[in-house]
């Protein structure tokens, strides 16, 4: 049975990170992973930093992976739009740079635990972004 495609747009402040027809999408919702296929019920969902996977309609054998930041997803009428603060394709992630960012985030979070003058939420957000980038890079290798 053929999978039915639908349109997906992933938009960041820097522009469109992805635009095309997909047959499936799994993204990190605030309460867990959310899967979207054609004819999905309309919804609006908050997104948290994490990994997003999609299957392009013209490349059904290949799953594309992205590291995404916080944002919102809207699904209706076989159209999905994700508005996120960051989106990076797994193949574009420099693993060594991502590991260094993770270490910096860990140090900053440890400092935030000791010093109330350091923004803990910002340190936690940096940690989540670094984890998402490393997870996306790991999934790319599979």
User: What long-range pairs does 88-94 form, CB within 8 A, spacing at least 24?
Assistant: 88/17, 88/133, 88/136, 89/17, 89/64, 89/65, 90/64, 90/65, 90/66, 90/136, 90/137, 90/139, 90/140, 91/140, 93/67, 93/133, 93/136, 93/137, 93/140
Q: Does 130 lie in the same domain as 99?
A: yes
Range of the domain at 127: 93-140
Residue 97 lies in a domain: yes
Tokens of 26: 């799994």
Residues 63 and 117 in one domain: no
The confidence score (pLDDT) of residue 60 equals 63
CA quadruple 118, 47, 25, 83: dihedral sign = negative
* In-domain check, residue 12: yes
Q: What whole-number distance in Å separates Cα of residue 54 and Cα of residue 65?
A: 7
Q: Same domain for 77 and 123?
A: no
Give yes or no: residues 50 and 75 share one domain.
Answer: yes
Domain harbouring 76, CATH code = 2.60.15.10
Assigned domain for 1 exists: no
Please tell me the total count of domains within the chain.
2
Residue 59: pLDDT over 90: no
Rounded to two decimals, the pTM is: 0.87
- Examine the domain organization and report whether 36 and 85 are in the same domain: yes
Which pLDDT tens digit goes with each residue over 73-127?
Answer: 999 999 999 999 999 999 999 999 999 999 998 888 888 778 777 777 888 888 8
């Amino acid at each position: 049975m053929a999978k039915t495609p639908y349109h997906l747009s992933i938009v960041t402040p820097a522009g469109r990170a992805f635009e095309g027809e997909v047959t499936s999408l799994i993204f990190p919702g605030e309460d867990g992973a959310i899967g979207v296929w054609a004819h999905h019920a309309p919804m609006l969902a908050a997104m948290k930093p994490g990994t997003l996977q999609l299957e392009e309609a013209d490349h059904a054998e290949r799953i594309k992976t992205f590291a995404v930041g916080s944002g919102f997803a809207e699904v209706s009428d076989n159209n999905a739009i994700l508005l996120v603060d960051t989106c990076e394709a797994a193949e574009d992630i420099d693993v060594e740079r991502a590991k260094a960012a993770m270490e910096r985030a860990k140090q900053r979070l440890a400092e935030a635990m000791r010093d109330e003058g350091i923004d803990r939420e910002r340190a936690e957000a940096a940690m989540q972004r670094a984890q998402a980038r490393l997870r996306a890079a790991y999934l790319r290798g599979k």
